Each structure stands twice: as structure tokens, then as C-alpha cells.
Structure 1
Amino acid sequence: MDWPRVTPVRQCAKTGSSGTIANVNVEPCDSDRCAFKPNTKVAIKGELTTTSTAANPTDSVQIEVGGNFIEYPGISKDACEYFSCPLKADATNLYKIEVQSNDWLPPMDTKIQFHVYESEGGAELACIEADIAIIAA
């Protein structure tokens, strides 16, 4: 996978996951706090390493609005749309998510989280968080 720029992320606080997500690359993003304009195509690539296999993993992308994390619309919960499934234990599992940024959020500095679970309602495999900015069109 081509890694033109590694975006700063951190493991989520308050998570019991043993896996890690590394080498995250967000395009477009040219600063440590990625800035997103409404109605822009965004591609997120990275590597997940987990200690367990997962045949039917799910994911959740959440954005912090008003102090609470809410589900970001337009992203499938079926992680196999973004990963090659099944996820392999103790191996690098590459992923790529492409999404159109929404125009319903006001300009603000906030956080976004990416969670991967072994299955619907299953254990969390990994979670990362990043600081982002929503900017006016």
C-alpha cells in the first residue's frame, strides 16, 4: 500500500481492544488535524492487526458533536466492504474506506473514532481516534 503521509491517530481511551490500527493515511489531509470541507470525497487507508480472526467483522465510525459521539452516516457497518475478509489474527489486515464528507455539520474542531468489532455485538478488535476540523465550504 502506498503511504504518502501518515496521519496522526491514537488508540481510543476506555477500550478493551487488544488490536491496533497503524499507518493511517487520510486523503485529502495535509496537516496533523485533518480539515474536511463538505461534499468532498475522503479516502482513509490503514492497517489493522488483531489477536483474533473475524469472519464477519463490523465497524463503526463516529464523530463527536456536542460532547457525544454519534454514528457518521454513509459508512457501511459491514467491515468486509473495506477489509479483505476474514480478518486474520496476528497479521496485517489492510483496509480502505471512501466516503463523501457531509454538509450537515457546522464548522468546528472535533474528534472522529474508527471501531472494528469481531461481529455484530461482538468484542472490539481495535479503535483509533483522531482530531479533525470541519470547515466551511
Structure 2
Amino acid sequence: MIRTIVALCFVFAVASARTTKIIQCGDSAGKVTNVDVNPCDSDVCTFKPNTEVTVTGELTTASTAANPTLSVQVEVAGVFIEYPGISKNACDYLACPLKADAPNKFTIKITTLDWLPPMESKMQFHVYESEGGAELACAQADIAIAK
């Protein structure tokens, strides 16, 4: 998650990160755990525009993947859209190849968007074994957008 995670992926002006509440999504056997969002100080992270956010965590998959891909999406008006500016190459955010049945640490840095209206939403974080391949893990987090 997340974050997911979604986004993924997360802003509220505080000094320390905390474990963020996520749910697993999708049908994959993999799991996203220990997600920290910095800055964030509540179970529902509130994001302000044009702020850099760092999302860290661990991903465990049932299989290895040499060329995993990443999709971070945010829900806008009931539809999940790709979060712009995030590479689809998951190896940009975690060590590759992904190891099966072992924690694979990740770090994603995101600059929050300035065009989203104030709202409550969801962010999803999907990892696939390759472009068009099977989903390895999915996490989702509830978020809020502030102005």
C-alpha cells in the first residue's frame, strides 16, 4: 500500500514517519508490509499540493521477478488513474531481481499533485512480474487531499 499505494503515494507537514494503515488488494499471493509515509501523522494521510513525500516498505512475493513493473494509481471521481511521474520500472524503487518469499525493501519518492480538488480518496500500489505479467502484490491506502 499503497498505495497502496498506493500510492501508493502523501503529505502532511510533520517531522517523522509512521507505519501507515494499508489493505491488500487484488488476487496476488504477495504482500506489502511495513509501509511508512513521510510526512504523515494519521491513519489517513492528508496530502498538500507540491510536497515531496517518501513511501518506504517491504514487498514479499511468491515468485522471483527479474523485470518487475509498477503501477501507482489514485482514485478520482470513482475511477483509478495512473499517478503521473512515477516510473513503470519497479527496479527504480527496489532491488532487482525480486526474491521470492523474502522481504524486498522499496522506496518511492512522489511530489504531490496540485490539480486534485480537496477530497477523500484511495491510492493503490501494484507490482507485476513484468510488463503485462501476473500481479505479484497490491496494497491500497485511504488518503485525503487538502488545499
Q: Distance in 1 between matches of 2:86 and 2:118?
A: 21
Of 62-71 and 3-12, deviating more is 3-12
Task: Give the one of 18, 27, 30 matched to 1:5.
Answer: 18
Q: 1:17 is matched by which residue type in structure 2?
A: S
TM-score (norm 1): 0.94
Percent identity for Structure 1 against Structure 2: 66
Q: Which amino acid aligns with 1:76?
A: S
The CA deviation string for residues 51-92 of structure 1, in whole angstroms up to 9 with x for no partner, is 100000000000000111000001100000000000000111
**Cα deviation, residue 98, structure 1:** 0.3
Equivalent position to 2:80, from 56, 65, 69: 69
Gaps of 5+ in 1: none
Question: Where does structure 1 differ by over 2 angstroms across 4 or more consecutive aligned residues?
Answer: none
The CA deviation at 1:4 is 4.8
Opposite residue 133 of structure 1, the aligned amino acid is A
* Equivalent residue, structure 2, for 1:86: 97
Q: Which has the higher contact order (CA 8 A, sep 6+)?
A: 2
The CA deviation at 1:16 is 1.6
Judge conservation of contact 2:17–2:39 (CA < 8 Å) in 1. no
1: CA distance, partners of 2:17 / 2:122: 22
* Count of aligned positions: 132
> Aligned with 1:121: secondary structure?
coil
Aligned to 2:133: 122
Distance in 2 separating the partners of 1:129 and 1:119: 20
- Other-structure match for 2:62: 51
